[in-house]
């Protein structure tokens, strides 16, 4: 099992440098780097800028808001922006030779983006628009991405545990557009300067606080939770009465946006199993695993409550998984509740 360990900040962490400059500077420190990863990240940032521009025109031009009338492999109604973002990721990588396979929440099977796809080539897994239900109400959405080297498994070569990821990240389309990524050497956040059209380093070497003040969960489902989830949330609500720092609740309904707040301020995000969704809702390979990679690099933790997310061997491309992610203090306690499966005070 490979553990991911963040190294100390490198010399390429001067605020204001561009994403590409940062990656080039990092590559100079790793003699085996081929430069392909820099090209890959440049194309991800291009997709991010195109999607960001499209979002900025929502309500002003046709076919940004609303549904296409189609239903995706997950059984969810496809929105125009889901389709645009999915096609954008395909378009920016097609025939570049940078990525040989692309898997997406919007595609039943991975698609080949290059004629040759040997084991070891880069593959990209994306949730092109995470939090789609927030598009039409002008609330933050995101793109989540995971970069793998194609494995040798008999299906797509993509069913690898999260600890095999080469890199992972997300682009948050909020009041400003931010790209946060890790290639296993810390977590770095870049803010899009819309005038220059470049992502500039704004959050070098991000670290999650060891404990936070927010919990994030869809409480409307509390009647459908297992008892340990209710007990854990009740425990958090009781902090004030125990003379501890009280918690407050935040839930945006866009995973990456809820995660980003948790990364910056600490605390916990949970999407546990429910009666209707016994494996939770979130997808392992392009939602939970990339965010788990990021949070561990930032000093946090991610699990199902029972098992480390990065150790899970996927069985299917669109597999769902319960997710408990955030500061080490909160996640560790949530795991205690999950493992005991019963209440404790």
**The tokens of 94 are what?**
């097609």
Q: Give min distance, CB of 78 to ligand AHM, in A.
A: 10
Can residue 106 be called a binding residue for Mg ion (CB under 5 A)? no
Half-sphere exposure of 301 (CA within 13 A, CB side): 20
Contact between 328 and 301 (Cβ < 8 Å): yes
SS3 133: helix
Q: Give min distance, CB of 265 to ligand AHM, in A.
A: 17
d(CA 99, CA 282): 24
Which residue number places its CB atom closest to Mg ion?
A: 130
Contact between 124 and 145 (Cβ < 8 Å): yes
Give the residue, chosen from 44, 85, 167, 255, that forms a contact with ligand AHM under the rule CB under 6 A.
Answer: 255
Count residues near ligand AHM (CB under 6 A): 11
* 296 contact, one of ligand AHM, Mg ion, none, CB 5-8 Å limit per kind: none
d(CA 84, CA 143): 12
Can residue 130 be called a binding residue for Mg ion (CB under 5 A)? yes
Cβ within 8 Å of residue 238, ≥6 positions away: none
Q: Which residue has the tokens 């931010």?
A: 178
d(CA 342, CA 337): 7
> Measuring CA to CA, which residue among 159, 142, 165, 185 is closest to residue 44?
142
Q: Give min distance, CB of 333 to Mg ion, in A.
A: 26
Rank residues 110 and 204 by Cβ distance to Mg ion and give the closer one: 110
Q: Which of residues 231-260 bind Mg ion (CB under 5 A)?
A: none
Q: Which of residues 130-189 bind ligand AHM (CB under 6 A)?
A: 130-132
Give the residue, chosen from 82, 106, 127, 330, that forms a contact with Mg ion under the rule CB under 5 A.
Answer: 127
Can residue 270 be called a binding residue for ligand AHM (CB under 6 A)? no
Give the residue, chosen from 66, 97, 184, 253, that forms a contact with ligand AHM under the rule CB under 6 A.
Answer: 253
Rank residues 64 and 100 by Cβ distance to ligand AHM and give the closer one: 64
Rank residues 270 and 312 by Cβ distance to ligand AHM and give the closer one: 270
* 205 contact, one of Mg ion, ligand AHM, none, CB 5-8 Å limit per kind: none
Rank residues 93 and 271 by Cβ distance to ligand AHM and give the closer one: 271
* 76 contact, one of ligand AHM, Mg ion, none, CB 5-8 Å limit per kind: ligand AHM
Contact between 309 and 302 (Cβ < 8 Å): yes
**The tokens of 54 are what?**
């499209």
Can residue 265 be called a binding residue for ligand AHM (CB under 6 A)? no
Q: Which residues pair with 189 in a beta bridge?
A: 180, 203
* 213 contact, one of Mg ion, ligand AHM, none, CB 5-8 Å limit per kind: none
**Residue 24: enclosing H or E segment and its boundaries?**
helix 19-27
> Measuring CA to CA, which residue among 272, 207, 259 is closest to residue 233?
272
Can residue 281 be called a binding residue for ligand AHM (CB under 6 A)? yes
**Residue 173: enclosing H or E segment and its boundaries?**
strand 167-173
Interface residues toward ligand AHM, by CB under 6 A: 76, 105, 127, 130-132, 218, 253-255, 281
């Amino acid at each position: 099992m490979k553990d991911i360990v963040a190294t100390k900040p490198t010399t390429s962490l001067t605020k204001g440098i561009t994403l590409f400059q940062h990656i080039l500077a990092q590559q100079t420190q790793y003699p085996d780097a081929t430069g392909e990863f820099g090209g890959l990240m440049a194309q991800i940032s291009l997709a991010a800028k195109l999607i960001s521009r499209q979002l900025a025109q929502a309500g002003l031009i046709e076919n940004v808001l609303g549904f296409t009338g189609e239903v995706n492999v997950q059984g969810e109604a496809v929105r125009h922006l889901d389709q645009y973002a999915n096609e954008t990721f395909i378009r920016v990588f097609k025939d570049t030779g940078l990525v040989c396979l692309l898997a997406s929440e919007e595609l039943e099977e991975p698609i080949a983006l290059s004629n040759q796809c040997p084991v070891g080539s880069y593959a990209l897994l994306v949730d092109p628009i995470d939090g789609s239900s927030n598009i039409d109400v002008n609330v933050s959405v995101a793109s989540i991405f995971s970069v793998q080297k194609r494995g040798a498994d008999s299906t797509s070569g993509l069913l690898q545990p999260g600890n095999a990821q080469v890199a992972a990240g997300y682009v948050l389309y909020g009041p400003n557009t931010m790209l946060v990524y890790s290639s296993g050497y810390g977590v770095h956040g870049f803010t899009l300067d819309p005038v220059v059209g470049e992502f500039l380093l704004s959050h070098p070497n991000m670290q999650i606080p060891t404990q936070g003040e927010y919990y994030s969960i869809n409480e409307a489902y509390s009647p459908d939770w297992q008892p340990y989830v209710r007990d854990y949330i009740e425990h958090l609500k009781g902090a004030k009465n125990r003379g501890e720092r009280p918690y407050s609740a935040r839930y945006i309904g866009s995973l990456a946006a809820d995660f980003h707040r948790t990364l910056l301020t600490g605390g916990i995000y949970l999407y546990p199993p429910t009666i209707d969704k016994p494996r939770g809702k979130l997808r392992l390979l392009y939602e939970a695993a990339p965010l788990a990679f990021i949070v561990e690099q930032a000093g946090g933790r991610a699990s199902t409550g029972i098992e480390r997310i990065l150790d899970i061997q996927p069985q299917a491309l669109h597999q769902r998984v319960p997710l408990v992610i955030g500061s080490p203090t909160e996640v560790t306690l949530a795991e205690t509740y999950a493992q005991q499966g019963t209440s404790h005070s």
